[in-house]
Amino acid sequence: MFYIVPLFAIINMFLELKRDLMMLQQNSYRNERYMRWLRGSQDTTSTSRLIAIAILFLSLTSFCPNFIGAYLILLFSVFNSFRLIKAKYKKPLVFTNRARRIYIVASILAIILICVGAFAFGISGDIKSLLSTSAVVALGTYIASHVIIYIANILLAPVEKHINNGYYNDAARILSSMPDLKIIGITGSYGKTSTKHYLHRILSEKYDVLMTPGSFNTTLGVIRTIREYLKPYNEVFIVEMGAKQQGDIKEICDLVKPYMGIVTAVGEQHLESFKSIENVQRTKFELIDALPQNGVGIVNDDFPYVANRKVDNVECIRYAVNGTKNATYTAKDIVYDETGTQFTIVGGGKELRLHTRLVGECNISNLIAAVIIALRLDVPDEKIRYAVEKIEQVEHRLNLKRTPGGITIIDDAFNSNPTGSKMAMDVLSRFNKGKRIVITPGMIELGDKQYELNEALGVKIAECADVAIIVGEYNKEALLNGIKQGKMNKENVHAVASFNDAQRVLVSIAKAGDTVLYENDLPDTFK
Q: What is the CATH number of the domain that holds 431?
A: 3.90.190.20
In 3-state terms, what secondary structure has residue 190? coil
Together in a domain, 20 and 97:
yes
Together in a domain, 80 and 135:
yes
Q: What are phi and psi of 380, to 5 degrees?
A: -60, 150
Task: Confirm whether 165 is domain-assigned.
Answer: no
Conformation bin of residue 506: beta by default, left when phi > 0, alpha when psi is -120 to 50:
alpha
Q: Which residues contact 254 (CB under 8 A, 6 or more apart)?
A: 290
Together in a domain, 130 and 265:
no
Task: Confirm whether 96 is domain-assigned.
Answer: yes
Together in a domain, 231 and 107:
no
Beta-bridged to residue 330, according to DSSP, are: 320, 346
**Domains held by the chain: number:** 3
Q: Answer yes or no: are the C-beta atoms of 252 and 219 closer than 8 Å.
A: yes
Task: Confirm whether 192 is domain-assigned.
Answer: yes
Task: Confirm whether 494 is domain-assigned.
Answer: yes
Task: Confirm whether 24 is domain-assigned.
Answer: yes
CA–CA dist 324, 146 (Å, integer): 50
Q: Answer yes or no: are the C-beta atoms of 159 and 101 closer than 8 Å.
A: yes
pLDDT of residue 314: 94
Chain centroid offset of residue 444 CA: 10
Together in a domain, 201 and 234:
yes
* Domain range enclosing 301: 178-390
Q: What are phi and psi of 479, to 5 degrees?
A: -65, -45
CA–CA dist 87, 83 (Å, integer): 6
Comparing C-alpha atoms, which of 281, 280, 289 is closest to residue 312? Answer: 289
pLDDT of residue 254: 96
Q: Which residues contact 36 (CB under 8 A, 6 or more apart)?
A: 27, 272, 273
Task: Confirm whether 371 is domain-assigned.
Answer: yes
End-to-end CA separation in angstroms for the chain? 36
* Domain end call among 339, 356, 390: 390
Q: Answer yes or no: are the C-beta atoms of 482 and 454 closer than 8 Å.
A: yes
* Amino acid identity, position 512: A
Q: Answer yes or no: are the C-beta atoms of 407 and 487 closer than 8 Å.
A: no
Task: Confirm whether 333 is domain-assigned.
Answer: yes
- List, for the chain, all residue ranges whose pLDDT scores fall below the cut of 50: 123, 526
Q: Which residues contact 479 (CB under 8 A, 6 or more apart)?
A: 440, 442, 454, 455, 457, 458, 461, 468, 470
Together in a domain, 359 and 338:
yes
Together in a domain, 267 and 120:
no
Task: Confirm whether 169 is domain-assigned.
Answer: no
Together in a domain, 428 and 371:
no
Together in a domain, 147 and 194:
no
Together in a domain, 260 and 323:
yes
* Domain end call among 362, 390, 418: 390
pLDDT of residue 526: 47
* Domain end call among 97, 123, 157: 157
Using the 8-state DSSP alphabet, how is residue 44 labeled? Answer: G
Together in a domain, 186 and 325:
yes
Together in a domain, 225 and 349:
yes
